Amino acid sequence: MIDFVGLAVILLLALAFGYLTKRAWGAKNKIVKWAGVVLAGLLTLIFAAGFIAAVMGTIQVNANYNASNPAPNVQVKATAEQLAWGEKYAKLCAGCHSPNQQLPLSGNDFAGEAGFGFVGTLYAPNLTPAGDIKNWTDGEVIRAIREGVHQSGRSLIVMPSQEFHALSDEDVQGLVAYLRSQPAVEPNTPPSNLNVLGATLLMAMGGLTHQPAITQPIAKPAVEANAQYGEYLANNLGCRSCHGEKLTGGVGFDGSPAPNLTLAIPQWTEEQFSAAFRTGALPSGVMLDNNKMPYKEFSDFMTDTDMKALYQYLHGLSPTQASK
């Protein structure tokens, strides 16, 4: 993914303005000389800095993590129960990987839809057996999901692997089994290809999402209405992406504040908690906005046991003010 043309254009602009700066320096008219030197000099600096940023962005986008994050050597054999869990969890991928937010995950134009087509091509790829992953090993797909590394070894872009990093071996295998079980929906999506602008912006905004390597087995806690299983759910449903690492408050995807859960939920009854997810109504009577807090998706995902477990975990958190 190297935009040679883009890099060359920025470099040529820097060189051209550098040349003009030199020419202005030699001008006889004092006003022309200083105006020219300041203007062309400034543009030279801007394009030179832009070139350096673009080179650094290109290097990071292409950095290879095969050595630090080798793909696990596993062959998925999922039970019917694992597969069913995988299908349920896969619905949480559909917001990005499907054109209509429904299964199957036939891929969608991520950058174009968000109005970011100018950064190049970035699809949330087709994850049905018509997509590239038909040629990936199970281990490579598992690594992509939990560690954010592409088959080639480069970091994935935008793909929120931090939210899936804590998935147990059992659950991630159920998910991969589900991906493989989908109908093959043509056409395949085009490979990601960012231009210099995309690479530079990504580097600046932290859009490269590779995660630390997973070297130990991750066991799934028993599915019971207790805090231990509730914590597992909170870790794997993206609560921390918006509400903060310690759930003490953060920002949602659209920048709206996501409240401190350690202050609110210890005050709530289990009925109030479950009503918030099942109906969107908070104890105060205020309705949650599903575009900011996707409670309907969580409600569809969670069984009553899941809901009780998540409540047990969040209700038991000690109230903590966010440290700023």
Query: Any idea which residue has 């602008």 for tokens?
Result: 197
Site for ligand HEC in 55-114 (CB under 6 A): 92-93, 95-97, 110
* CA atoms within 13 A of residue 292's CA, in its CB half-sphere: 14
Amino acid type, 229: Y
Q: Is 17 in the site for ligand HEC (CB under 6 A)?
A: no
Q: Pick from 293, 307, 309, 317 the residue near ligand HEC by CB under 6 A.
A: 293
Whichever of 53 and 62 has its CB closer to ligand HEC, that residue is 62
Whichever of 68 and 267 has its CB closer to ligand HEC, that residue is 267
Q: Pick from 144, 197, 214, 227 the residue near ligand HEC by CB under 6 A.
A: 144
Q: How far is the CB of 44 from ligand HEC (least distance, A)?
A: 33
Cα 133 from Cα 117, distance rounded (Å)? 24
Q: Is 315 in the site for ligand HEC (CB under 6 A)?
A: no
Judged by CB under 6 A, the stretch of 8-16, 36-44, 75-83, 118-126 that binds ligand HEC is: 118-126
b/e code 201-213 from CB counts within 10 Å (16+ = b): bbbeeebbbbbee
Residues 6+ apart with CB under 8 A from 56: 203
Q: Pick from 282, 296, 315, 316 the residue near ligand HEC by CB under 6 A.
A: 282
Q: How far is the CB of 229 from ligand HEC (least distance, A)?
A: 13
Instruction: Determine the Cα angle at 96 with ends 1 and 79, to 5°.
Output: 105
Q: Is 244 in the site for ligand HEC (CB under 6 A)?
A: no
Which tokens sit at 237?
A: 């449903």
Whichever of 35 and 269 has its CB closer to ligand HEC, that residue is 269
Nearest C-alpha neighbor of 231 from the set 64, 1, 210, 222: 222
Cα 106 from Cα 93, distance rounded (Å)? 11
Residues 6+ apart with CB under 8 A from 315: 265, 266, 268, 270, 273
* CA atoms within 13 A of residue 280's CA, in its CB half-sphere: 12
Q: Is 131 in the site for ligand HEC (CB under 6 A)?
A: yes
Q: How far is the CB of 323 from ligand HEC (least distance, A)?
A: 19
Which residues bind to ligand HEC, rule: CB under 6 A?
Answer: 92-93, 95-97, 110, 122, 124-125, 127, 131-133, 141, 144-145, 150, 156-160, 164, 175, 192, 234, 237-239, 241-243, 252-253, 256, 258-259, 261, 264-265, 276, 282, 288-289, 292-294, 298, 310
